[in-house]
Structure formats: C-alpha cells, structure tokens
Amino acid sequence: MSLKSLLNRKRREDDEPTVDDVENYADDEPVEDDDTFNQAPEDDGYINLNEHPDGNSDGDYEEEDYENEEEEFDEKKDVPSSILGQPSLLNVIGPSYWSTDDLMQDEFVMRENMKSKTYGIAAYVPPSGYPRMLDTQVFQDLLAQGNVDLTLDIVPRTRRDTMQDLSNMLNILRANAEYQNSKGATFQLRENIAKYNDIDNLLDEIQFDENRLYDVAISMIVYGTSDREVNKNFGVAADLLANEGISITPYAKRQKSGYLTTLPIGARISFLDDTYRNVDRKSLAVMDIARNASGRFNGGIPIGNNQATPSQNTEFLNIFGTDTHRPINYNMGIVGEAGGGKSAANKLKMAREISILGFEHRSIDPDGEYVLLAKRLGQLNLTITANAKFVINPCALSLYETPLDEETMTDVNGNQLSVQEMEEQIRLNDDDGRQVVTHKDGTKYVQQVNISQMASNVKGFVNVILTSNGAEEKMHVGEEKRLESAIDAVVDDLGITSDPNSLFENKAGMVNDVYQDRMPKPEPTLTDIYNKLIMQNTDEDGQPSKKVERLLDALKLYLRDGKRPIFDGQTYFGKGRSPLLNDYKYVNFNISQLEGSIKRVAYYVITQYLWERWMKNPAKAMIKKVLDADEILQFIDDPEMSAFFEIIVRRDRKRNGSITWLTQDIERFQGNPQAKALVTNSEFMFVLATKPEHRKLMKETVDLTDGALDILTGNPEPGEGILRQEGESIWIRTNPSQREMDFVESNRAVGQARKNRNALEAINKSIEG
C-alpha cells in the first residue's frame, strides 16, 4: 500500500483532514488551533505483535479489507511497476495496441504481444513519383526484402467520365497551343502539340474499347523491430525503387489512414484521393504485383513451379543462355540441408538438359546416387573400386588449343604478321611443333601438346597423395625438381614433343577393339615415372636416395602391383570404349565404394581427367558441357584440390563448359575463402531447406534477403527453395513427373513407399470405375 493511503487512513482514525482534503485548502486560508489534537506517544522501539501492520487491532481487519483492495486497484491499474521489465496491469489485460502521435508523424508502432514491438512506416508513390516507362520486374527486389507489404489499389474509371476529362484536357491544350503560337513560344508549342496527339490517340482507343483508364495508388508498409531498423529498411526500399525511377514518401500525419488502406481489407479512404494517378490498361498490366514474382524467360528447361504467383507458373532455367542474352558465367551451385531435395533437383536438371537441350554431362558420384539416372537415360555408369579393371591415367597427355587470331608472331624485321601469314609460317616451319586446325564453324586454332600441363597434373596428384592423410606436407623444392626431371625423361623416351603428330605412330591398328587410323603412342604411366626416379636418384651403394624417399613411398601404393592400381597404366574404361568416352552424352563416375584417402585421390584424378580430356578437348569445343561435382566441399580444405576447383570455375566458360556443384556441408562456408569462391563464380544458385542456425551464414554467403530466408528456414517442402539466377530470386518447387520420380528419388525406401501408394491408388480407381 502506498504512503499516501496509509497517511489518509491514519488521519481518518484521528478525525483529521486527509491528504486529499489538505491539498484543496487555499494557501491564504487561516488554520485554527485544535485543542483536541493529541500528541502521538513516543515510539519505544518495540513492536506490538497483536497489532495489525496498518495500525488497527485484530477486530478491525474485515471492515477495511475491501476498501484497501479497491484503492490499491485504482492506484495501480494504470501505473507501471517499479520492478524492471514487469508490465502494468493494463498491459497484462490488453497487451496489443497500435499507436501513432505528433512525435511519430511519419511512422507507427504496434505491439502484438508483451515480448516485442513492431515499428512501421506507411508510404505511397505520389502521382509525380512514377517513371515514364515501367518494367515487369519493377517490384521484384522490393518484395524479396521480406519486410515490406505492397498494395496496388485500382479504381476503374467509367468510359463517360474518362472521355469527358480527356476532352477537357484537349480543349485546354488547344487553347495553350494557340496562345503560344501567337507569342512565338516554339518549344512550349511543340511540347503541347505532342501531348495533344498522345491524348487524342488515347481518346480514340477508349472510344473503340481498345484501352481504358484506371486510378491507381501504390501504397506500402515497411516494418522493423526498432525505430532505427525501420528507418534503415525504409531507406533500402526507397533506394530499390529509385533504381527503377520510382520515388516514395511517407503518409505524413496520415499514418493510420495509410496503414488501413495498405491492409488487404478493401478499405478505401476518401481523403487519400491525392495519392491516386491515372494509368491505362497496358501500364497497369506491367505493374501487376503477381507478375513481379516470376522470373525472366530465357529459354532452357522447365525447372519448377513458381510458389509466389497465383497461377504457379512454370519457371525455366538456361545456364548457357541464348544468342540474345548470355550470363556472365555458366556455373551453378545447389545448397541445402540433408533431405531438402538437392540431388533430386540436380538429377531433374541433368535429365532434362541431356534429353531436351542435348547438353553433355559428366558426374562425380561420391554416394552412388546417379547410377539409376545413367541407366534410365541409356548412358554409361562406371563404378570405380580400388581393384577395378578400369584405369584413369593422371599422366596422360592432351592437346591444347588457342585461337589463331590471338597468336602473335613477327618477321625478321619485328613487324607483326597477319593471321594468314602466321598460318603459312606455322605450316611451313617443321621445327615449330604446332599445327593449325579448322573447326566446323570455320574458326582456326593453333594446336600443340601441353607437356608442362601434364607435369603439373602429376605434381598435383603426388601432392594430393602426400596430404590426403593429413600427416605429410606437400613436396618441397628439391623433390619437385627431381619429379620434373623424371617426367621429362619419360616423355623424351616416348619421343613426344609439342607437335600433336608426336602423339601418334605412322600406322593403323586396333586399340581396345576400336579401329584407329593412326595408332596412338603409349601414355606415360606412374610406373615409368617411378622407375625413372629410382634410376636418376640411386646412390653408389645401389639404394634410392633419401631425397626421393617420400616420392617413392607415395607412388608405390598406386602402382599396378600395389593395392590401389586404378591410376597406373593406359587409360581404359572397358572393351570397345574410347579413352575419351566421346560417344556418350552422359557418364557417371561412381566412387561410392571407395573410402578414406583413395576416395579423395580418385575425386581429384577424375576431376583432372574430365577437365583436361573432356572439357578442354578440341573436338568438344562447340558442345555445351556440364561437370556435376557432388559434395565438393568435402575436399575444399585441401589446398591442391581447392586450387584446381577454382581454376575450373573461373575458366570453364572459355571452354563452353559449366560446373554444377552440390553440398549440404553449409558450415564449410564459415570463414573459408575457397568455398566462397565457388559462390562468387556461380551465376546460378538453388538454395533449399536451411536450418535456422545457418540463417546468418547463408545471408552473408549467398546474399539472400530476409524474406527468402524466412522461406528457407520455415520447414519448406522437399524440392522447395530459392532459385537465384543473374541477380533475381525466385521461389520455386521442382516439378518431377511420376516417371522422373523413378530415378530422382535418392532414398529407396521412400521411392518404394511411393510406388506402393501409387499402385493402391490405381487399384482404387479401377474399382470405382
């Protein structure tokens, strides 16, 4: 109980004026002495245990309890508690409210619960804030922010009123034009004549019902959790619309009206008529908010259904673009938690690109998820095991091409040669070691054998072996020099030079049951390099030098007589198959049966093989090629592998190639520049279900808006996510057909349950029929 109420009770007991009565006395009113006033006894310092704490005796409790409770309620119902964080009684009874006042003329605050407040700014596009031309994607970036509600209020105008208003405008313009003509105001006259013609044409269209006028108001509410945040969000929204030539302004001193007119409750407030402007039917169609949620069509394959448009229209994906529009690069990343539908989305993309667009695909399959896809498409699946009969030779040599017009050659006087002169000189000079070839499109290239690249590949292979178990370091300078010397000696023994003809013998024959016009020379092998290392680095006592001991130990395990012989020998994928596998649209390299360090080495060697002998193959220069690298972030921490992956994502565009990488290891993006380089160099991203704890990380890595992250962290359905293509964010869900689900589903148990359910539905339909 408050001090004031205690004082009043004491005075009533003593028949004295209460504090309220005393406050009503005038200051100049005399106060008479009261002889009946009794001095209170002095406090002796002891407490009477039989006395009520309020000073009453035990018998007086019941009479005053009700009055005390009523007074306490009246005093405390509107007063906040002195305890920090404890709400007042009024807040407990009615915690929700909406408020704006003279201090908040441009914003409002509302509380939906006792935990937090929501701040907002209601704004609109003034009639003078519209651009001269609009784009169908004008609101896309704004709606993707997730903190903006946008309303388009449309009021159709009758034909009679429209024609009357336009006729009045024509009369005014005609009068102005005549006056300006008499005064010689040529510039203003020309402008009024142009306006007159535009309005006259619009009037004709309306007369024949080819067009119509509408009064339109664009209003919005920008939200935030604090005053500072809502102003920041409003600034972002204003900047996004300013990029489209649109300006916005808050409903100054009209926040409540602006708030109500933006809510989808059909409220149209008459004193907000100044926010409307007239537009015709064509302009209104462009401003359609639902259309702004759809993506740009640039050909390609159907990838999913739009979840933000009322019609759920089909969205298309074309990573290589068209002749009229090509993206900056052709790479794509698919990121999401386990079970979100990453593999299903990529398999759907692969199947449609191969069968519809004719793209070639090669996939590295760590978990055996793409085996069924290869079989369904009638293509090749290679299951790689430690003792498989297949051989992928990391020492193989390949051809390297550069456009002839990019070459630079000079004569004896230092004058630069023309393209024709360079071609003639290369053909006539036998010591040049290069040759000129012409592709089907007529483009001429200079071809040569890239021996230095082969040496670099072997060094990378050895480094991956050394660092695969985490205990060893990469080669040091001395080891690298000795390895290069051994490689050069092996190449010289085979008689191979930079001349492409040196890769072949001058005779025909059969290789792996395939007839060859010119028999290829044997490729250098790991055994050749191993033996050459021993030969060049043997001590006087006949033992290999300790300087090459690590190199020999690393290579020995991968020789033909070792436990991992799949990388030693001539490249071989089975009888009747070319080492280049050029006859297949799709080849899957299944490495799911490999474990430990050999799996890491196999991933690197296969990627290296596909880059050197497929992506860079001159015969495939005009073919669109896609390398599908699943769970690539497992190996991104290896410096040798990450450097090689970065080369691919940066240079594949020049080879008419693309890489599609998948990962569920989102934590690897944290402070990892190698992982972020994949995102930076990928113009297309498909982000699926994301855990709430990864929200901030994904926002920083993929630059997603809060609205997109709300979808991704809100338990979306499998296959549902945000497709980012060339800066646009589209909310889609993949749309596999029933036949495609047979190879798209990665979980066999789920796939079998779906088949049983479909069979049961078919039986029920037949019974009903």
Q: What is the pLDDT of residue 373?
A: 95
Q: What is the DSSP letter of 245?
A: T
- Please say if the pLDDT value at position 22 is more than 50: no
Least confident of 88-102, 248-262, 490-504, 659-673: 88-102
pTM above 0.75, yes or no: no
Q: How many CB atoms lie within 10 A of CB 728?
A: 14
Binning pLDDT at 50, 70 and 90, where does residue 33 land? very low
Q: How far apart are the C-alpha atoms of 686 and 192, rounded to whole Å?
A: 51
Q: What is the pLDDT of residue 767?
A: 80
Mean pLDDT, residues 314-326 taken together: 93
Q: How far apart are the C-alpha atoms of 723 and 496, rounded to whole Å?
A: 48
Q: What is the pLDDT of residue 506?
A: 86
**Nearest Cα to Cα of residue 106 among 269, 278, 270, 235:** 235
Q: What is the pLDDT of residue 454?
A: 94
Q: What is the pLDDT of residue 69?
A: 66
Q: How far apart are the C-alpha atoms of 756 and 745, rounded to whole Å?
A: 14
| Contact by Cβ (8 Å): 278, 163 | no
Geometric angle at alpha carbon 462, from 564 and 659, rounded to 5°: 90
Mean pLDDT, residues 585-600 taken together: 94
Q: What is the pLDDT of residue 14?
A: 54
pLDDT, one tens digit per residue, over 192-216 is 888 889 889 989 998 888 899 999 9
Q: How far apart are the C-alpha atoms of 679 and 673, rounded to whole Å?
A: 10
Which residues, 6 or more positions from 132, have their beta carbon under 8 angstroms from its beta carbon? Answer: 245
- Please say if the pLDDT value at position 650 is more than 50: yes
- Please say if the pLDDT value at position 62 is more than 90: no
Buried b (16+ CB within 10 A) or exposed e, 236-260: bbbebbeebebebebbeebbebbbe
Tokens of 215: 């009064």
Geometric angle at alpha carbon 222, from 220 and 223, rounded to 5°: 140
| Contact by Cβ (8 Å): 93, 228 | no
Tokens of 541: 């006592």
Q: At what angle do helices 597-610 and 639-651 cross, to 10 degrees?
A: 20
Q: What is the pLDDT of residue 549?
A: 92
Q: What is the pLDDT of residue 733?
A: 95
Tokens of 308: 């933000």
Which residues, 6 or more positions from 275, have their beta carbon under 8 angstroms from its beta carbon? Answer: 124, 125, 126, 127, 217, 219
**Nearest Cα to Cα of residue 757 among 21, 327, 745:** 745
| Contact by Cβ (8 Å): 276, 128 | no
| Contact by Cβ (8 Å): 125, 247 | yes
- Please say if the pLDDT value at position 283 is more than 80: yes
Judged by DSSP in three states, 615 sits in helix
Token pair 């998948």 in the structure block, residue: 662
Helices (H), 614-658: 639-651
Q: What is the pLDDT of residue 93?
A: 57
| Contact by Cβ (8 Å): 615, 606 | no
Q: What is the pLDDT of residue 744?
A: 87
| Contact by Cβ (8 Å): 434, 446 | yes
Largest CA distance in the chain: 142
Single-letter amino acid, residue 351: A
Single-letter amino acid, residue 332: M
What pairs with residue 152 in β-bridges? 218
Torsion angle defined by CA atoms of residues 702, 706, 710 and 712, in that order, rounded to the nearest 10 degrees? -10
578 vs 12, more confident = 578
Least confident of 4-8, 282-286, 386-390, 459-463: 4-8
| Contact by Cβ (8 Å): 105, 121 | no
pLDDT, one tens digit per residue, over 356-395 is 999 999 999 999 999 999 999 999 999 999 888 899 999 9
Rg (CA), the chain: 40
Q: What is the pLDDT of residue 86?
A: 58
Tokens of 134: 């609009």
What are the angstrom distances between the C-alpha of 217 and each of 273, 282, 564? 9, 16, 72
Binning pLDDT at 50, 70 and 90, where does residue 89 land? low
Binning pLDDT at 50, 70 and 90, where does residue 409 land? confident
- Please say if the pLDDT value at position 120 is more than 90: yes
pLDDT, one tens digit per residue, over 451-510 is 999 999 999 999 999 988 776 789 999 999 999 999 999 999 999 999 998 998 888 888
What pairs with residue 586 in β-bridges? 361
Q: How far apart are the C-alpha atoms of 169 and 176, rounded to whole Å?
A: 11
pLDDT, one tens digit per residue, over 731-758 is 999 999 988 988 888 766 666 666 777 7
The helix or strand, by DSSP H or E, that contains position 598, with its residue range, turns out to be helix 597-610
pLDDT, one tens digit per residue, over 42-53 is 444 444 444 444
Tokens of 88: 């007042």
260 vs 31, more confident = 260
Least confident of 467-471, 531-535, 674-678: 467-471
**Nearest Cα to Cα of residue 120 among 269, 234, 275:** 234
Q: What is the pLDDT of residue 742?
A: 85
3-state secondary structure 506-537: CCCEEECCEEECCCECCCCCHHHHHHHHHHHC
Q: How far apart are the C-alpha atoms of 217 and 618, rounded to whole Å?
A: 58
Q: How far apart are the C-alpha atoms of 319 and 724, rounded to whole Å?
A: 12
Q: Are strands 97-99 and 514-516 parallel, antiparallel or unpaired?
A: unpaired
Mean pLDDT, residues 142-171 taken together: 89
- The mean pLDDT value of the chain amounts to 84
| Contact by Cβ (8 Å): 272, 258 | yes
Percent of the chain with pLDDT over 70: 85
Tokens of 252: 């100054």
Geometric angle at alpha carbon 673, from 669 and 676, rounded to 5°: 55
Binning pLDDT at 50, 70 and 90, where does residue 29 land? very low
Q: What is the pLDDT of residue 309?
A: 81
Binning pLDDT at 50, 70 and 90, where does residue 310 land? confident
Least confident of 167-176, 304-313, 466-475: 466-475
- Please say if the pLDDT value at position 27 is more than 50: no
Q: How many residues does the chain have?
A: 769
Mean pLDDT, residues 714-719 taken together: 92
Binning pLDDT at 50, 70 and 90, where does residue 95 land? low
What are the angstrom distances between the C-alpha of 537 and each of 483, 485, 540, 543, 546? 10, 11, 10, 9, 9
Q: How far apart are the C-alpha atoms of 546 and 621, rounded to whole Å?
A: 45
Helices (H) and strands (E) in the chain, counts: 24, 23
Q: What is the pLDDT of residue 512?
A: 73
Give the number of C-alpha atoms closer than 13 A to the C-alpha of residue 493, restricted to the C-beta side.
Answer: 14
Q: What is the pLDDT of residue 335?
A: 96
573 vs 768, more confident = 573
